[in-house]
Structure 1
Amino acid sequence: MKASETSIRNLLEGTKQFQVPLFQRPYSWNKDYWDALWNDLMSIYEGEIEGFYFLGPIVTQAVSGTADGISPFLIIDGQQRLTTLSILLATLRDKLRQDNNSLAEELHESYLINKFKTNEDFFKILLTQTDRESYRYIINNKQQDNKSNGKINDAYQHFTKKLERQSRSFCEKLKSIILEKLIIVNITSDENDNPYLIFESLNNKGQELTQADLVRNYIFMKLPIDNREEQYNKLWLPLENTFKTQVGDKYSEELTNAFWFYLRKDGKSVQQKNVYQSLKKRFDDPQNNLTKELQLIVRFSKYYQRFNFPEQEESNSKFRKYFNNLLRLDFKTSHIFLLNIYNDYENEKISEQDFEKILIYLESYFVRRLFSGVSTQILGGIINNLYLEIQKTKFSSIVDGLYKTLNNFDNKKRWPTDEEFKKNLLTQTIYKGAKNDRTKFLLERLEQDQGQETVDLSTLTIEHIMPQTLNDEWKQQLGANYSSNHSKCIHTLGNLTLTADNARLYNNSYSRKLELLKRSNLYLNHYFREIEHWNFETIEDRANKLADIAIKVWPRQQC
């Protein structure tokens, strides 16, 4: 490797092109970084910093070119700085063009483009596919549509605002500062060096990158050069773009999570922080075909998307309902097992009907354990190994194997019986602070099972019929033991319902609440129409009726 100190002018002059390889993350600088760079430039402009200003290193690798073409270099490290400076030079060019300043064309032709080249060779910097279109618009000074907006365009708009009230002389001086005063150390590696290993070392084994970033980087450095672009466009980029649509800037973290679930689907225990290292071992295994491994990762990541973003990604309405249920219950651990089930379904090893039965059993298993007070802490280990356990048995089908496996679990792994489930629904506190959406889900499912009318349940909230804070009227109505009985019953199933009138009901007397509840179209509130007095006996009676429905909604018998 060779290192030399150089100015931005010397770095960019000549028929060169700096290419951002596929293993690099997209442009990610934000306002904090842009402002830090601008403030440094202003310090030089105001004379607070004298002489040259060291901007940091840029690591590149020379790539074979042609005699009549450009001199290409891969940017191994420093693409964020170099891209930002290029965008800033483009904003300076556009500002100077407003005054028909010849410096504008000098900036454009000497430091932004290779004037006599065409197609991709035309640009001094060639970004990855994610950013390429937005960058082209800026360099070609064309209006961007909304689809092209992103960090690249944000940076351009940011610096455009910085320059909009500045004079011609300010812009001319700033141009000289950027090209002459900013100094970098250009470290150029030999063409035979492994650019990814250099990149990985410079990024301290991934501490500054997400696990998904490192996975992408390693895959596309391992793939043959003539196959990288095709596989990136065909497999990786569409997957990455879908995650961006779903979670925005957090897409890389979500992709990491998808890989983590993929690694555990076969019963292996893998920590999330070791996702990259675990996948790297697979890629390095000579028995594995790298392209096929990439196809597998992408396929299972798409299943992950269907579980986590069912409204956008799952077309089957039955599956979509159950996937939403599992999300409401925060039972994402089930996705580890379901990755294999969805793959079996896609490969026509199980039918749609059997898949639905599997989802019914899983939801029942979780709900019965949750509302029976059985610890959920060991669920990770249970679900991790569940598919393997079923595979080892001699059941006629996966769905039968799942049912009998769950049915045979005992002690801490048990699937609560009807008796245990009902007993706990009668007595357990199910209204629990941060987990109250699970309680609302339970009430919604009871309503959906029995209700005859379509109601928008999302607008409803949980109401305590006997209020959480008792006034004198309630104390008198509940009798001498109101305090101890209130503590036992207040958050149990029998005392909870759904309503859109929570604010109006509040701590009112039962007679006042009854006036409002009688108007409700919900099945859950039909019970109150015949109940003139609300006390501990009626709470228990209603809980019994609702618990019987819950046993049917979350069955334990074989479908």
Structure 2
Amino acid sequence: MRAQEITFLKLVQGDKQFQVPLYQRTYSWGRDQLNRLWEDVCELVEQHLSGESAAPHFLGSVVLAPGQIQAGGVQRWLVVDGQQRLTTLMLAFAALRDHLKESGDLRGVDRVHRQILVNEFHEGLDHYRLLPTQADRDAYTSCVQSRAEAGGSDNVGAAYRFFRGALAEGREAGDERWVSAVETVLKDLLSIVEITAESGDNVYRIFESINNTGVGLSQSDLLRNYVFMLLPKRGERVYQELWLPMQQSLGPKNLELLVWLDLIVRGNYKAKQSEIYREQQKRLQPMAGDEAALQYEIEQLSKRGQRFRRILDPAREQSPALRAALERLMSWGGQTHYPIALHLLDLVDAGRTAPDDAAEALLYVESYLVRRLICQTPTTGLNRIFMEAPKELETDRPAAEAVRRFLSGRRRRWPSDEELREAVRSKPFYWSGRPPQRSYILRRLEESYRPSEPVDFAKAALTVEHVLPQRPAPAWLQLLDEETEPAQTPQELHDLLVHTLGNLTLTGDNGKLSNHPFERKQQILESSALRMNLEIAEAKRWGKAEILARADRLTDRAVELWPGPIGGIKPTGEESPGWTELRAALVAMPSGTWTTYGDVAELIGSHPVAVGAYLGANPSVIGAHRVLTVEGKISPSFRWPEGSDRQLPQELLAGEGVRFDSWGRAHRSQRLTAAELATLLGKDVTQPVSHDPLPEGEDKAAAERFRTQLRENWPDAHDGVMAALDFWRRQGGYVNYGRHEETSCFPVLDAGTSHGPHLMWPIGIYPVSGTVEVVFQYLKSRSPFDDTEQRRELLNRLNKVDGVDLPESKLELRPSFPLTVFTEHCDEVCEVLDWFVGVAALDLARRA
């Protein structure tokens, strides 16, 4: 085998084709991996535009084995390892080419297409420089050929859509040179090690050995080995007295994090966690030969490690004010605040600031994070802001003032009081951040009432409750009908209000409250120990006016809890984060789907009219044609930009796979709701239902509630549903139930091994609303249904049942079909369930 470091452009140039063998799994990169790659690309772009000498970014290796060569044909290479990187970059170039096309740069389009994506003078499959596995081939070639169905619901389509959105947002923020710099970085500044096998090598054995190499050394392991190699005389004592205690107290992961934070706090804010060893080695290299200097560096790292432990375990902090500030940030979760917190503790221990001053500085950090979450400010660049802080903070001011001034910088987007008030009234808070962060904000708001007998939140099992229910009974909609605007339905008003902060509270009685009328909820809330619940119980009704009034009261409390930026005025001329989110949502939509102006408004906390006006003024927004009226029709006011030669919107949507009836209405099953758009954006919309990990132990009371609700609401479907559940049990599964007023039902299978349970369930049955959800969203993270082809097969088998019509564009979501399907087609549904169990059993045998 031979190896060479090479740029991506040089790797792919020439008449060659990279073939992904059939034994490799399908393309699997998701949002996290794509984000990391794009952040690296953007950093290189910045360096390139600023004139800095940018060293190539090492992506990893690609292992290739020679394939068959035909006279006059392309040189074929089997991709033994590295197909994920190759596929990702090819999709990035396909998105770049299409971005250049929309910008009118036809020479750029031709250049990227011919240089990277295709073998220009070859036809058929030889035309493609990369040929993925058969399962990914159609999705990939659709992107390369810019077909209407490009950007589907599988991982290939999702990656293409990701890069389309990233390029569109970069164009908004950058200048004309930005796209050119992206092309340069992708071609010439991403470094790959090309490892080429010899002809006749056993390709499968190479693949097997590469992917079964055991646990490698961590970055901190490499650093430790390097440092102690330079300490031949003092090494043993330094290791026993300094390094080993630090390593034992922090553990491997936190030690590696400390070594990275040490670089950040020293001002190297561009240091990546994957390059800790190289950066620390570069810093320590001048001290080689000076054991006293190296020992001093380890002593300083050990002291910084003790400060880091105070961040991880605030109970170790002696100052009450600083301990409370650290505890709040620990409750908030995440590691974003670590660099600035560690820097502040350095200042405290060095006597350069007082603990109370550092505590106030951390309050501004907390406020910055909380306000951005409530206002749904995009998190892009958030980590970098905090990594820059130790170097950028002004040193001639008190720490708290320096932190507040730093975070108030124009491009750092600390929402003002005005923006906060607007967001509390309109944004779907229930979809913001992670569930613990939402609960934390509500908890802090409850504590602001300063009750004489505060609730012990550590012991109380509280969850977030919607006062106006998520699934409202007719009485709720009748109440809202009194407050609707012209041409607005009660359901549309409900959707705009239900997830806002003014409608949410904390309770331990979520199951009891459910979708009861407000009068019944009042009776339950009156006995609550929480002051915010007693305040809700005092209301005479619960509609739009009450929800908005409570939103304003909560904003007043939030402003006191979390002070805003210096100046505290909404920046003029700055685009609302909602429009950024709108563009991201439309790009995230798979081909073959549509949504409504109301759904988008609900997602971003706006109004359908405002959404229509924005898209009318910006028709070139990617996916603008996918936003239709609530009836599923093209809005009469929709226009392409002047001079555009694009197809009519309905023709374009039909080409993408959207079905229309004779009245010009798009098929309802292909509509993406606000919740589904939020899911595609990675928001935590649907929380998994808790399941009993044991096959036995079905809740008899819940089972009886489910059967009663089924008989009362869908009597014709009762026998078919119960027969299907009995069939499921005979196949080795069991049945679990939800804990809310509408008692949902889940046929669960434990396909676990000796390593632990492996729970999965194909559907959720709702006996009041009369729907059966197919939970592709959950199955996507459960083997073997993490493979797109397995989920697609489940969808196809269900669609053969009369009355089921699941769109392929929702393979990552939770599409549904009517419960009445069980009335006449129970046996066919059972055949699908039997197939599901069989696939799970084969996977279990493979993993055992």
Write the deviation string for residues 20-47 of structure 1: whole angstroms up to 9, x where unpaired: xxxxxxxxxxxxxxxxxxxxxxxxxxxx
Write the deviation string for residues 159-197 of structure 1: whole angstroms up to 9, x where unpaired: xxxxxxxxxxxxxxxxxxxxxxxxxxxxxxxxxxxxxxx
Once the two structures are TM-superposed, the CA of residue 315 in structure 1 deviates from its matched residue by 3.8
Write the deviation string for residues 484-543 of structure 1: whole angstroms up to 9, x where unpaired: 111111111110001111111112111111101011121211212321211111110111
Specify the alignment match of 1:525 in structure 2.
533
The answer to whether structure 1 residue 445 and structure 2 residue 426 are counterparts is no
Once the two structures are TM-superposed, the CA of residue 362 in structure 1 deviates from its matched residue by 1.1
After TM superposition, the structure 1 = structure 2 runs for residues 403-552 of structure 1, keeping only pairs within 5 Å, are 403-407=404-408, 409-410=409-410, 412-432=411-431, 435-452=434-451, 453-458=453-458, 459-479=461-481, 481-552=489-560
Once the two structures are TM-superposed, the CA of residue 256 in structure 1 deviates from its matched residue by 0.8
Specify the alignment match of 1:267 in structure 2.
267
Specify the alignment match of 2:256 in structure 1.
256
After TM superposition, the structure 1 = structure 2 runs for residues 143-154 of structure 1, keeping only pairs within 5 Å, are none
Once the two structures are TM-superposed, the CA of residue 231 in structure 1 deviates from its matched residue by 1.4
Gaps of 5+ in 2: 1-212, 567-848
Specify the alignment match of 2:284 in structure 1.
283
Aligned counterpart in structure 1 of residue 330 of structure 2, from 309, 314, 327: 327
After TM superposition, the structure 1 = structure 2 runs for residues 345-360 of structure 1, keeping only pairs within 5 Å, are 345-360=348-363
Specify the alignment match of 1:228 in structure 2.
235
CA contact (8 A) 1:206 1:214 kept: no
Once the two structures are TM-superposed, the CA of residue 290 in structure 1 deviates from its matched residue by 0.5
The answer to whether structure 1 residue 374 and structure 2 residue 381 are counterparts is no
Q: Which stretch of the first structure deviates more once superposed, 349-358 or 398-407?
A: 398-407
Once the two structures are TM-superposed, the CA of residue 331 in structure 1 deviates from its matched residue by 4.8
SS in 2 for 1:285: helix
CA distance in 2, matches of 1:316, 1:353: 8
Once the two structures are TM-superposed, the CA of residue 445 in structure 1 deviates from its matched residue by 0.6
Which one-letter code corresponds to 1:471 in the other structure? A
CA contact (8 A) 2:264 2:390 kept: no
Q: Which stretch of the first structure deviates more once superposed, 278-287 or 458-467?
A: 278-287
CA distance in 2, matches of 1:435, 1:401: 29
CA distance in 1, matches of 2:221, 2:353: 34
After TM superposition, the structure 1 = structure 2 runs for residues 43-442 of structure 1, keeping only pairs within 5 Å, are 208-225=216-233, 227-243=234-250, 251-268=251-268, 269-286=270-287, 289-311=293-315, 313-391=316-394, 395-407=396-408, 409-410=409-410, 412-432=411-431, 435-442=434-441
Residues 350 and 433 from structure 1, CA distance in 2 versus in 1: closer, same or farther, beyond 3 angstroms?
A: closer
CA distance in 1, matches of 2:538, 2:382: 42
CA distance in 1, matches of 2:397, 2:432: 43
Which one-letter code corresponds to 1:431 in the other structure? Y
Gaps of 5+ in 1: 1-204, 244-250
Write the deviation string for residues 273-299 of structure 1: whole angstroms up to 9, x where unpaired: 111122222222238711111112222
Once the two structures are TM-superposed, the CA of residue 206 in structure 1 deviates from its matched residue by 11
Specify the alignment match of 2:10 in structure 1.
none
CA distance in 2, matches of 1:206, 1:377: 34
Which one-letter code corresponds to 1:277 in the other structure? R
Which one-letter code corresponds to 1:300 in the other structure? R
Which one-letter code corresponds to 1:405 in the other structure? F
Larger-gyration structure (1/2)? 1
Which one-letter code corresponds to 1:238 in the other structure? P
Residues 215 and 557 from structure 1, CA distance in 2 versus in 1: closer, same or farther, beyond 3 angstroms?
A: closer
SS in 1 for 2:465: strand
CA distance in 1, matches of 2:398, 2:504: 40
Residues 505 and 486 from structure 1, CA distance in 2 versus in 1: closer, same or farther, beyond 3 angstroms?
A: same
CA distance in 2, matches of 1:428, 1:461: 20
Write the deviation string for residues 365-384 of structure 1: whole angstroms up to 9, x where unpaired: 22112211222221222222
Once the two structures are TM-superposed, the CA of residue 424 in structure 1 deviates from its matched residue by 0.9
Specify the alignment match of 2:205 in structure 1.
none
CA distance in 1, matches of 2:565, 2:247: 42
Once the two structures are TM-superposed, the CA of residue 460 in structure 1 deviates from its matched residue by 1.2
Which one-letter code corresponds to 2:243 in the other structure? W
CA distance in 2, matches of 1:333, 1:343: 17
Residues 413 and 206 from structure 1, CA distance in 2 versus in 1: closer, same or farther, beyond 3 angstroms?
A: farther
Once the two structures are TM-superposed, the CA of residue 314 in structure 1 deviates from its matched residue by 3.1
CA distance in 1, matches of 2:477, 2:247: 59
TM-score by length of 2: 0.39
CA distance in 1, matches of 2:434, 2:557: 22
Once the two structures are TM-superposed, the CA of residue 434 in structure 1 deviates from its matched residue by 6.6
Once the two structures are TM-superposed, the CA of residue 544 in structure 1 deviates from its matched residue by 0.6
Once the two structures are TM-superposed, the CA of residue 207 in structure 1 deviates from its matched residue by 7.0
Which one-letter code corresponds to 2:503 in the other structure? N
CA contact (8 A) 2:375 2:415 kept: yes
CA distance in 1, matches of 2:545, 2:558: 20
Structure that is richer in helix per residue: 1
Once the two structures are TM-superposed, the CA of residue 390 in structure 1 deviates from its matched residue by 2.1
Moved over 6 A (4+): none
Once the two structures are TM-superposed, the CA of residue 332 in structure 1 deviates from its matched residue by 1.9
SS in 2 for 1:274: helix
Once the two structures are TM-superposed, the CA of residue 550 in structure 1 deviates from its matched residue by 0.3
CA distance in 1, matches of 2:405, 2:333: 24
Q: Larger relative CO (CA 8 A, sep 6+): 1 or 2?
A: 1
Which one-letter code corresponds to 1:237 in the other structure? L
CA distance in 1, matches of 2:439, 2:491: 26
CA distance in 2, matches of 1:258, 1:464: 41
CA distance in 2, matches of 1:447, 1:296: 42
SS in 2 for 1:208: coil
Once the two structures are TM-superposed, the CA of residue 338 in structure 1 deviates from its matched residue by 2.0
TM-score by length of 1: 0.58
Once the two structures are TM-superposed, the CA of residue 433 in structure 1 deviates from its matched residue by 7.2
CA distance in 2, matches of 1:536, 1:302: 51
Which one-letter code corresponds to 1:239 in the other structure? M
Once the two structures are TM-superposed, the CA of residue 400 in structure 1 deviates from its matched residue by 2.3
SS in 2 for 1:498: strand
Residues 308 and 377 from structure 1, CA distance in 2 versus in 1: closer, same or farther, beyond 3 angstroms?
A: farther
Residues 396 and 336 from structure 1, CA distance in 2 versus in 1: closer, same or farther, beyond 3 angstroms?
A: closer
SS in 2 for 1:462: strand
SS in 2 for 1:457: coil
Q: Which stretch of the first structure deviates more once superposed, 205-214 or 439-448?
A: 205-214
May I ask how many residue pairs the two structures share in their alignment?
342
CA contact (8 A) 1:426 1:493 kept: yes
SS in 1 for 2:506: strand
SS in 2 for 1:321: helix
Which one-letter code corresponds to 1:505 in the other structure? L
CA contact (8 A) 1:358 1:402 kept: yes
Specify the alignment match of 2:825 in structure 1.
none
CA contact (8 A) 2:374 2:432 kept: no
CA distance in 2, matches of 1:315, 1:209: 36
Which one-letter code corresponds to 1:401 in the other structure? A
Specify the alignment match of 1:102 in structure 2.
none
